[in-house]
Structure 1
Amino acid sequence: MDIVLLSRLQFAITAAFHFIFVPLTLGLSVLVAYMESKYVATGDKDYLRMAKFWGVLFLINFALGIVTGITMEFQFGMNWAEYSRYVGDIFGSPLAIEATLAFFLESTFLGVWIFGWNRISPKLHAFSIWLVALATNISALWILIANGWMQNPVGYVIRNGRAEMVDFWAVVTNPYAILKFFHTVMSGWVVAGFFILGVSAYHLLRKNETEFFKKSFKIGATFALISSILVAFIGHFHAHEVAHTQPTKIAAMESLWETTKDAPMYLLLIPDPKNEKNLVEAIGIPGLLSFLAGKKEIKGLKEFPPQDRPPVTLTFVSFRLMVGFGFLFILLSFLALVKFKEIEQSTTLLRILLWSIPLPYIAAQLGWIVAEVGRQPWIVYGLLRTSDAVSKAVEPIQVIASLIGFTIFYSALGIIDIYLLSKYAKKGPEPKEV
């Protein structure tokens, strides 16, 4: 079997499993910090109970997320040794900073938060979880700076047969990486907002701890609405950057085959990559694609050799679904706030919100498919092809064996995560002190 395909599949599976845990960690850390700060500011014990209840769910997710992330880095030296040799001077720097700065800050103060109840002052305890939230999101920044360089390589020269960094500041301030960071982090905040909305809806449907979960519900709805709007807003500017730096990706995202000025966006479109056209193009909105991309003229896929084009159908479908989910999240979180005063009687909306918990996770995964599949056939866009980055020392049978092992292991972790989150979410908060 093809070693490149197997290695790509293995990394895709491990990365997708890891990113099941990351988004909730990003958003829930911020929300738990907010809840504990509300307790410190108001003295309302419900906010203390919230910080503890949602904090347990955060810890479960955080612990399993660490386990799934470690194996990904080993793959750079094993399956992708040629990639590491060629760009390790650049790619390794932000990952090293993430490990030595963000991860240790995060781990240290998470320990303070876990074991510091009633041992340090409430203000210091709340401060510790804010540092955890800050470090968690800074961790994402450095990882996405590394990934952003793969999408838009800057600040390097080719020397001694490899890419070497000559401008660290250019790498850190790479516009693609900065926009990708905010887009990814905000999508994680949407996940957390809908997670709190869904769990709160579950308890409100059962008339359990109504006052407690109404407060949680309002926090989740507000956070989800703001985050959903920010995702759409930042996504618009991210599309500008994609159009500027990765013309093949933007063309694949909209299945645009011919170079077009004032390109329309078709609401109904079915790609036909085999014949380099679309089977259906209907309900076009004039100039919308050019507006979203920030370019009057959009290059079509036919402008590029077939070997330089990404998989069109998967990129297109993933992008359309992601955008559709994004607008759905704005609508649902807006309705949650509008209906808040009579939310206990709005059983249909509560059921919808409960069953919507997986949707932001799916949207986040779709976003990564657009980002990574849409970059193909390049592992570093325009610089290093994926087929040239795989290790020459790894045999297909070795990748197959590890792929099976990773899939079984990660599936078990996923089941454990869902079980534990479900168990403690259903259990509810600690009883009120009398």
Structure 2
Amino acid sequence: MELDLVDLSRWQFGITTVYHYIFVPLTIGLAPIVAIMQTVWQVSGRSQWYRATRFFGNLFLINFAMGIVTGLVQEFQFGMNWSEYASFVGDVFGAPLAFEGLAAFFFESVFLGVWIFGWGRIPRWAHLASIWTVAVAVNVSAYFIIVANSFMQHPVGARFNPETRRAELTDLWALLTNSTALQAFPHAVFASWMLAGTFVCGISGWWMVRERRRGNVDIATRTWRTCTRFGAWVILVATAGVTLTGDALAKLMFIQQPMKMASAEALCRTETDPAFSVLSVSTMNNCETAVHLIDVPYVLSFLAKGEFSGVTLQGAMDLNEYYQQLYGPGDYIPNLFVTYWSFRLMIGFMVVPVIMAIIALWMTRRRRVPSQRWIELACLAALPAPWLSNFSGWVFTEMGRQPWVVHPNPAFQGAPAPNGEDSINLLVDFGVSHHQPWQVLVSMSIFTLLYGALAIVWFHLMRRYARYGLDQPGIALEDAHGDAHSAPQDSDELEPLTFGPAHAHASSPDAPTPHGKDN
């Protein structure tokens, strides 16, 4: 089989991006959750929130570190495999990526260090402010990345220079307030909260049932039941946000990228009031052979325009003929199989956390603490669902834009831009670097093996410290007086976050106990 440079470059970027995105939504969602937990502890003094802060704080740190390591590669790839694309949009991308780097490597890293080592060493208000700074910076960092990505979906705030053949930034404010970014950012944040809520609910629910079956009813009730219900409420609130923002984003995409939405519905020809396709089958990537097996009327019209009837939507094949007239011969229809099913998998996997949250709230109502074995297993089985939903959403967003790496702004299609310059757009085929295919194959293989090893390390660390539960340094089950409901109150009782089981930490005769007291 002949190696194709474009396909190999796309595969490499896709593999490294999807892998990096394992850590991104959990970081975005878990940072404010840990900050809320610490706030509740400092306001109420309740020990269960102290323990939850330390426990999920440790898991947050592991995930954050892996996100930084894998995220560094992403920006370098613009120069390695996509140098033509980087040259074309470099003047535009520079500003948001610089802002993102400032947020990520200054505010996030510096204040996270303050939070890790500041337990008992700085005033409590300052320590709480440090984790809130991290939570805000994480989301600000995400916004700048989405701004850069939104320019690829809907280029604004720039002009095309015909002499340099490059896009040049002309309006930073227009770039930062791109309508696509303003819609995509809250959608991504709510999706991250849904994932983090599932993470908290699933792990806490597993521990709740486990401790209940062991006979540790007090810990199961006070700590793990509380965290389980907290995670469940986060899921429900986040799901409502995902639904509302997703609806608004879909309506915007029907305007900005009608080909993407037509492909998502396997809508081949322009129709009035087409039905929403629940299930369609077809020959791989052949729109003409699509057979709609299950359709729901009125849904697609409302999704597109907010109206139940009288809505005409353009079909993929009609749009392809229109684009050929504008941009020359070619196939402008994305991979129908991937676009169609990634859209449905995004929605389908999102249902799992909702069911999980409803069951969790019902089973723990009126201070109940369940002990059924199936609940323990279901909590673990539900954990991958929000990740798969997030992955599917981003695959749909990026693959549905193909074959464009910078999609034309529909306001400029077929006519010069308002400022007199040509429309900004770039096909994927013209964005890759001029490498030999075997070189990309070698680098892709190395990245895949390296990231596979890192995936094993991440999973091992997360599983290991999740299984430690409350048996970790600084997460005390009881104080020197045997009070299992207490948490450190004095500054000298608090210690920096460390990793490892409490019994191993205190194994040395000179090591302090989890409360900072001498043995």
Q: TM-score, normalised by structure 1?
A: 0.96
Determine the structure 2 residue equivalent to 1:334: 358
Secondary structure of the structure 1 residue equivalent to 2:188: helix
Does 2:397 match 1:386?
no
- After TM superposition, give the deviation of residue 269 of structure 1 in Å: 1.8
Partner of residue 149 from structure 1, selected from 137, 151, 164: 151
Aligned to 1:242: 253
Q: Is residue 339–residue 346 contact of structure 1 (8 Å, CA) maintained in 2?
A: no
**Structure 1 pair 78–199 and aligned structure 2 pair: CA distance change class (3 A):** same
- Pick one of 374, 399, 410 that aligns with 2:440: 399
Number of residues of Structure 1 aligned to a counterpart in Structure 2: 433
Question: Which amino acid is the alignment partner of residue 478 of structure 2?
Answer: E
Q: Which runs of 4+ in 1 moved over 4 A?
A: none
Deviation at 1:102, TM superposition (A): 4.3
SS in 2 for 1:20: coil
Query: Quick one: distance in 1 between partners of 2:372 and 2:254?
Result: 43
* 1:118 alignment partner, SS class: coil
Amino acid at match of 1:39: W
Q: State the shift of 1:271 in Å.
A: 3.5
Q: Residue 142 of structure 2: which of 123, 140, 143 is its match?
A: 140
* Residue in structure 2 matching 1:168, options 165, 172, 188: 172
1:347 deviates by 4.4
CA distance 1:198–1:101, shift in 2 (3 Å): closer
Given that 1:255 and 1:271 are in contact with CA atoms closer than 8 Å, whether structure 2 keeps it comes out as no
Q: Distance in 1 between matches of 2:109 and 2:26?
A: 17
Q: What CA distance in whole angstroms lies between the structure 2 residues aligned with 1:275 and 1:142?
A: 37
Which amino acid is the alignment partner of residue 413 of structure 1? L
- Contact 1:103–1:139 (CA under 8 A) maintained in structure 2: no
- Does the 8 Å CA contact 1:103/1:135 hold for their aligned counterparts? no
Mapping of residues 347-366 of structure 1, within 5 Å = 347-366=373-392
Of residues 307, 310, 322, the one that matches 2:331 is 307
Q: CA deviation at 1:177?
A: 1.2
Q: Give how far 1:232 is off.
A: 1.3
Shift of 1:16: 0.7
Using the TM superposition, give the Cα deviation of residue 338 of structure 1 relative to its aligned residue in structure 2, in angstroms. Answer: 2.6
Question: Cα deviations across residues 306-344 of structure 1 (Å, max 9, x unaligned)?
Answer: 611110011101101111122333232123223322341
The change in CA–CA distance for 1:345 and 1:206 in structure 2 (over 3 A counts) is closer
The separation in 2 between residues aligned to 1:298 and 1:374, in whole angstroms, is 17
State the Cα distance separating 1:103 from its structure 2 match: 3.3
Greater shift after overlay, 291-300 or 309-318? 291-300
Structure 1 pair 127/281, CA: closer, same or farther in 2 (3 Å)?
same
Q: 1:432 aligns with which of 477, 491, 495?
A: 477
For residues 273 and 405 of structure 1, what CA distance do their matches in structure 2 show? 30
Unpaired stretches in structure 1, ≥5 consecutive residues: none
TM-score (normalizing by structure 2)? 0.81
Query: Partner residue of 2:413?
Result: none
SS in 2 for 1:314: helix
Partner of 1:182: 186
8 A contact 2:208–2:224 mirrored in 1: yes
Displacement, 1:182?
1.2
Contact 2:352–2:382, Cα closer than 8 Å, also in 1? no
The answer on whether the counterparts of 2:266 and 2:290 sit within 8 Å (CA) in structure 1 is no
Q: Offset at 1:2?
A: 0.9
Give the Cα–Cα distance (whole angstroms) in 1 for the partners of residues 62 and 72 of structure 2: 17
The answer for the alignment partner of 1:416 in structure 2 is 457
CA RMSD of aligned residues (A): 1.5
CA distance in 1: counterparts of 2:21 and 2:369, whole angstroms? 32
Structure 2 CA distance for partners of 1:292 and 1:118, relative to 1, 3 Å = same
1:232, 1:326 within 8 Å by CA — same for their partners in 2? no
> What fraction of aligned residue pairs are identical, expressed as a percent?
41
Contact 2:352 2:385 in 1 (8 A): no
Q: Does residue 241 of structure 2 align to residue 230 of structure 1?
A: yes
Q: Distance in 2 between matches of 1:285 and 1:63?
A: 45
- Relative to structure 1, the CA distance from residue 222 to residue 278 in structure 2 (aligned partners, 3 Å threshold; closer, same or farther) is farther
Task: Spell out the pairing of 1:35-50 with structure 2 (5 A cutoff).
Answer: 35-50=37-52
After superposition, the C-alpha distances for 1:156-203 in whole angstroms (9 at most, x for unaligned) are 111131111111111111111121111112111111111111111221
**2:209–2:369 CA contact under 8 A, matched in 1:** no
> Does the CA contact (< 8 Å) of 1:271 and 1:312 recur in 2?
no
Unaligned runs of 5+ in 2: 322-329, 409-424, 480-519
Q: Structure 2: how far apart are the matches of 1:413 and 1:319?
A: 29
Q: What SS does the corresponding residue of 2:22 show, helix, strand or coil?
A: helix
The one-letter code matched in structure 2 to 1:333 is: A
Residue pairs, 1:241-320, within 5 angstroms: 241-272=252-283, 275-294=286-305, 296-303=311-318, 304-305=320-321, 307-320=331-344
Per the alignment, residue 493 of structure 2 pairs with: none
Determine the C-alpha separation between the residues in 2 that align with 1:237 and 1:28: 25
Which residue identity does 1:313 align to in structure 2?
F
Instruction: Give me the whole-angstrom Cα distance separating, in 2, the residues matched to 1:37 and 1:11.
Output: 39
In the alignment, which residue of structure 1 is the partner of 2:16?
14
Counterpart of 1:103? 105
Say whether the 8 Å CA contact 2:29–2:192 is kept in structure 1. yes
- Paired residues for 1:60-209 under 5 Å: 60-159=62-161, 160=163, 161-207=165-211, 209=219
1:140 is displaced (CA, Å) by 0.5
For 1:280, the aligned partner's letter is: V
- 1:282 deviates by 3.1
The answer to whether the 8 Å contact 2:353/2:382 transfers is no
* Residues 101 and 26 (structure 1), Cα distance of their counterparts in 2 relative to 1, 3 Å cut: closer
Q: How far apart, in 2, do the equivalents of 1:274 and 1:170 lie?
A: 36
The answer on whether the counterparts of 2:8 and 2:441 sit within 8 Å (CA) in structure 1 is yes
Greater radius of gyration (CA): 2
Q: Which has the higher helix share?
A: 1
Cα offsets for 1:12-52 (capped at 9, x unmatched): 00001100011111111111100100111001122111111
The answer on whether the counterparts of 2:210 and 2:376 sit within 8 Å (CA) in structure 1 is no
